[in-house]
Homo-oligomer: A and B are copies of this chain.
């Protein structure tokens, strides 16, 4: 059968709430350390080197597409890349945790942040988008992404990962006007970065507000929502589906929906049916298998995959994914088996 040139990738159909004939699937961190072919490249290059070299980043982005049969590729990059041209000294320590040598704590630190020229400063990333897109078949969509202003701000302020986000919240409570300025600057660069990714060929974008679940709903409303809303308002002009994701954000779902996103990413803590009811069925949902279930025996894994699909009830707009990224040590064969399981058990199902 001839494929018409306008055939839309199943992922993109689902991301815009349309029937895709089956439930499309991809995985957060599908390009990463659990893959031997990724480790082979990492043995010779740092994470930042790979991000800065379109040939390597393209290869790493495509590795899981080849091996797993997923319905989308996600650009290989790090959510903190835009901080580098802003003037922050970013490194990845052993174990790959980010470390920022000069975290943002004062008015002077915020004033010293440079305005990013996306086309030049993040040129290698955009070139990767172009290269990947050129190598993908029309059935596999390319997802661009960026960190959300809060999550990127939290790294910029803490100087690395945090459990309590004490420095971030101290900044937010103690210098609310400076916080507004920092968030405004980050929302601006985030939009321009995603816009450039879309112009380079990204067909959808995901905004990772990974750590925003550390905030109470009241704090989210005051300190994050306005910026996140204006970001999604701008993104809606790009005419690609947008995905809005956070971890441990069950208490913020309605506010995240208010902020925006055609699809809301759910972690495993919120049962998919409950989450979708709260998100509203006019939007899609993505998720939400617990990444640790990939370590479970096959019977348990199949049971939990089926449970996610049962809760999605074959309704168009569900994109299967984990509730967070693939963990190091995960068996790639198990990941591939999940792709097959999802495809097979949803093929031709009424809703999708």
Interface residues of A (CB under 8 A from B): 164-166, 169-170, 173-174, 213, 215-219, 248, 250-251, 268-271, 290-293, 295-297, 300, 307, 327, 329
13 additional A-B pairs beyond A164-B327, A173-B293, beta carbons within 8 Å, are A164-B291, A166-B329, A169-B292, A169-B293, A170-B292, A173-B295, A173-B296, A213-B248, A216-B269, A219-B290, A248-B248, A250-B251, A251-B270
Closest to A324 in B: B164
**Cα A303 to Cα B37 with chains together (Å):** 53
In the complex, chain B residues whose CB is within 8 Å of the CB of A329: 166
In the complex, chain B residues whose CB is within 8 Å of the CB of A268: 216
Q: Is the interface of A mostly helix, strand, loop or mixed?
A: helix
Distance (whole angstroms) from the CB of A289 to the closest CB of chain B: 10
- Say yes or no: A165 contacts B295, CB within 8 Å: no
Q: How many copies does the complex hold?
A: 2
**Cα A269 to Cα B251 with chains together (Å):** 7
Distance (whole angstroms) from the CB of A100 to the closest CB of chain B: 19
Shortest Cβ-Cβ A-B pairs, 5 listed: A173-B296, A169-B292, A170-B295, A251-B269, A173-B300
**Cα A292 to Cα B157 with chains together (Å):** 14
- Say yes or no: B269 contacts A164, CB within 8 Å: no
- Say yes or no: A297 contacts B173, CB within 8 Å: yes
In the complex, chain B residues whose CB is within 8 Å of the CB of A251: 250, 269-270
In the complex, chain B residues whose CB is within 8 Å of the CB of A292: 164-166, 169-170, 173
Given contacts A166-B329, A329-B166, contact A213 B293 (CB under 8 A): no
Q: Which of A164, A165, A174, A327 has the most CB of B within 10 A?
A: A164
In the complex, chain B residues whose CB is within 8 Å of the CB of A307: 218
